[in-house]
Amino acid sequence: MIRFLQQSGQTTKYVLGGLLLIICASMVITLIPGGLGGEVFGGTPGKGIVAKVNGEDITADEVRQTARQMLQQQMPQGSTANMSMLLPFFTQRAAEQLITRQALITEAGRMGLRSSPEEIKNELQHGRYAATFFPGGTFIGQTEYEDMLQRANLTPAKFEEAVGNDILLTKLQALISGSANVSDAEIHEQFVKQNTKVKFEYAVLKQDDIKKGLHPTNEELKAYYEGHKATYANSIPEKRQVKYAVIDVNKLESSVQVTPDDLRKYYDEHRDQYRVPEQVKVSHILIKTPLPGPDGKVDEKGAAEAQRRAEDLLKQVKSGANFEELAKKYSEDPGSAKQGGSLGWIGRGQTVPEFEKTAFSLPKGQISDLIKSSYGFHIIRVDDKQDAHMKSPDDVKSEIEPILKHQKALQAAQKKADDLLAQARKQSLDAAAAAQGVPVITSDFFSRKDMLPGLGPAPQFMDAVFTEQEKSPPDEASSSQGIVIYQLLAVKPAATPSFEEIKSRVEDEFKNERSNVLLTQKAQELSDRAKAEHDLKRAAKELGATMKTSDLVAPEGQVPEVGSMSGQAAVAFTMKPGEITGPINNGSDASVLQILQLEQPSEAEYAAKKDQIRDQLLQQKQQERFGLFVSNVVDQMTKSGKIRRNDDELKALSRSGSEQGM
């Protein structure tokens, strides 16, 4: 459908503050499933370099910056603590995506693809950057343009090169994916698969019922324990005991003062984040035109019929008919039709050009004439409009103040922790903590998975404690609550429990394993008997299974005790009335089905859904084709040394990611 790039809510994240930081990964995030790479270079990339791609450096700073922006885009309302914890994960993703982007740019160049200055200019003026650099269609001026880029640590040349590379990646994807096509036979097969419904009787056997009848002897359990002893080896985890003092950032935050000067300084340094682009809130009705066939030609009769239907709907709208009801009933854009045609707020560069031009030129409340695009005929209604503007300091005070409070509290906590650690190493943790009025907690023995008082989730603290050497001096680690000064007191190594210590666990595992085997055997016997006797009800009665009957159910449906109809039970859609399935296992239940009714969809339904299914299959094939292309190139270029990753640098970057802050 319309090539939307918008995220949920308003599109304020499209302003320069978001775009410039992420531009080196923007196309990768939406376009590329993997990573790629030019010439061969020997040796491992140096310090501060995460990877080399065809001789081009991917730096730690670029990865860190991109990871932060990715995290901010996906968690715009996330707390600083949660975002810090997730940053190492996003660091890994950012590195691979930057590597992939640079490699694909190299591959596009090798294939002879280019982006011209005219294309770059057109993208800036009419694409996703238009609201930032050409608000209302007017250029902001060269000086302001350069100043905005400078604040994002970019020069015009570097920025425009990145825009040109985005254009290259779009061309590359179009080239690789463009040859995909689907046949009418594939469309019809998929239609039947998606829309056939089935009704059946089914006999159910429950693992819990079988388990209740199991009463293993002590000798059987001991034999099971001995036979599975390797799985119990060291199953009592290593445990450690520490004493620790917590510098609680949240408590410090409550006493931190943020001045008007602090707010103004932060606002001035982050002005680009508070630019709101021009937007329109629109609804539309779409009548699709046929896609080109394998020969590239369009069915003219089908296109004419689509136009006739669209013109009829336009007459109804202009005559006062309810727009929302018509959209729900006739629009062929499935995403917006359910919402009465509403697409919500959109910015420039988010839709096809014909749609955008009309949407942004119509006054609020107006309805367009027929608009032709590559998708078909649109009837567009502008529901609301918003001019580009800058949020005032007062508008964003409630956003900025918590950030500044947390930053100041972190700084204060770090200073206090540094002082406490230095004093603890000179004297003792107890003496140092007492001098600063910080309580010291002595823990019981705990494992990595346990949670200690006053720490909250603390994976970094646990990693530090469980890699610490015995008799080490006090040390420092982070937790979700703040900074922890700790000292390791004792270690209990992992151990293997005796049979008596875990007898109840052994009994549970014995019963689970045995009942699962018996369930499988009994379900197979149920199916075999039912098929031999041509009578599922009789076989179910003989074996103590419960009989039930389903409603008519579609392939995406669920049936109690049978589970998803897209799983093992999907075989029911391939069978005839009266036929009996083999056993269908749904974890703790097993069932056997006998088909009562198979309802095939009509040709009228096929005609109505054919284009939608064609679009789905075509998009799927295009994505698969491009994904395979990317994976193959990545493999080849990595093997040939054209992509070289610095694993040590990436590990160090990931470890320190959360310590770098947002």
Pick the CATH number of 239-252+399-492 from 1.20.120, 3.30.70, 3.10.50, 2.60.40: 3.10.50
Asked if residue 21 lies in contact with residue 66, where contact means CB atoms within 8 angstroms, the answer is: yes
DSSP string spanning 190-232? HHHHHH-EEEEEEEEEEHHHHHHT----HHHHHHHHHHTHHHH
Secondary structure class of 15 (helix, strand, coil): coil
Q: How far is CA 622 from CA 173, 573, 615, 628, in A?
A: 9, 28, 10, 10
| Segment 182-204, tens digit of pLDDT | 999 999 999 999 999 999 999 99
Secondary structure class of 3 (helix, strand, coil): coil
Nearest Cα residue to 610 out of 93, 64, 188: 188
Q: What is the residue type of 131?
A: A
Which pairs from 566-575 meet CB under 8 Å and 24+ separation?
569/593, 572/198, 572/200, 573/193, 573/196, 573/198, 573/598
Q: How far is CA 523 from CA 211, 403, 472, 542, 547, in A?
A: 15, 60, 59, 12, 13
pLDDT of 14 > 80? The answer is: no
| Segment 417-430, tens digit of pLDDT | 999 999 999 999 99
Greater model confidence, 134 or 490: 490
- Give the model's pLDDT for residue 293: 61
Q: Can you read off the two tokens belonging to residue 458?
A: 């603390």
Q: In terms of DSSP H, where are the helices of 338-489?
A: 353-361, 393-426, 429-436, 459-465
Asked if residue 347 lies in contact with residue 2, where contact means CB atoms within 8 angstroms, the answer is: no
Asked if residue 103 lies in contact with residue 36, where contact means CB atoms within 8 angstroms, the answer is: yes
Average pLDDT over residues 163-192: 91
- Give the model's pLDDT for residue 12: 28
Asked if residue 46 lies in contact with residue 301, where contact means CB atoms within 8 angstroms, the answer is: no
Domain residue ranges in the chain: 12-180+620-657, 197-232+501-599, 239-252+399-492, 279-386
Secondary structure class of 367 (helix, strand, coil): strand
Secondary structure class of 50 (helix, strand, coil): strand
Lowest mean pLDDT among 72-81, 256-265, 653-662: 653-662
Residue keyed to tokens 């099971």: 224
- H/E run at residue 145: helix 142-151
pLDDT of 38 > 80? The answer is: no
Average pLDDT over residues 575-599: 95
pLDDT of 29 > 50? The answer is: no
Lowest mean pLDDT among 346-350, 414-418, 431-435, 516-520: 346-350
pLDDT of 40 > 60? The answer is: no
Secondary structure class of 11 (helix, strand, coil): coil
Q: Kindly report the average pLDDT of the chain as a whole number.
A: 87
- Give the model's pLDDT for residue 462: 96
| Segment 373-383, tens digit of pLDDT | 888 999 999 99
pLDDT of 608 > 50? The answer is: yes
Number of helical (H) and strand (E) elements in the chain, helices listed first: 24, 19
Average pLDDT over residues 141-158: 87
- H/E run at residue 592: strand 589-599
- What single-letter DSSP state applies at residue 662? -
Average pLDDT over residues 593-617: 92
Q: Which CATH class is domain 279-386?
A: alpha beta
pLDDT of 15 > 60? The answer is: no
- H/E run at residue 383: strand 376-386
Cα 310 from Cα 402, distance rounded (Å): 52
Nearest Cα residue to 445 out of 237, 233, 235, 248: 237
Greater model confidence, 38 or 538: 538
Percent of the chain with pLDDT over 90: 63
Cα 509 from Cα 503, distance rounded (Å): 10
Q: What is the residue type of 647?
A: D
Average pLDDT over residues 212-225: 96
- Give the model's pLDDT for residue 220: 96
Average pLDDT over residues 597-621: 91
Asked if residue 331 lies in contact with residue 341, where contact means CB atoms within 8 angstroms, the answer is: yes
> What backbone torsions phi and psi does residue 236 show, to the nearest 5 degrees?
-85, 110
Nearest Cα residue to 309 out of 328, 295, 289: 289
Cα 55 from Cα 62, distance rounded (Å): 16
- Tell me the whole-structure pTM to 2 decimals: 0.55
> What backbone torsions phi and psi does residue 433 show, to the nearest 5 degrees?
-65, -40
Cα 16 from Cα 72, distance rounded (Å): 14
Asked if residue 136 lies in contact with residue 279, where contact means CB atoms within 8 angstroms, the answer is: no
- What single-letter DSSP state applies at residue 579? -
Equal CATH topology for 12-180+620-657 and 279-386:
no
Nearest Cα residue to 247 out of 472, 22, 436, 53: 436
Average pLDDT over residues 63-85: 68
- Give the model's pLDDT for residue 76: 55
Nearest Cα residue to 351 out of 306, 273, 298, 286: 286
Q: What is the residue type of 94?
A: A
Q: Which CATH class is domain 12-180+620-657?
A: mainly alpha
Tell me the pLDDT band of 18, cut-offs 50, 70 and 90.
Answer: very low
pLDDT of 28 > 50? The answer is: no
Secondary structure class of 389 (helix, strand, coil): strand
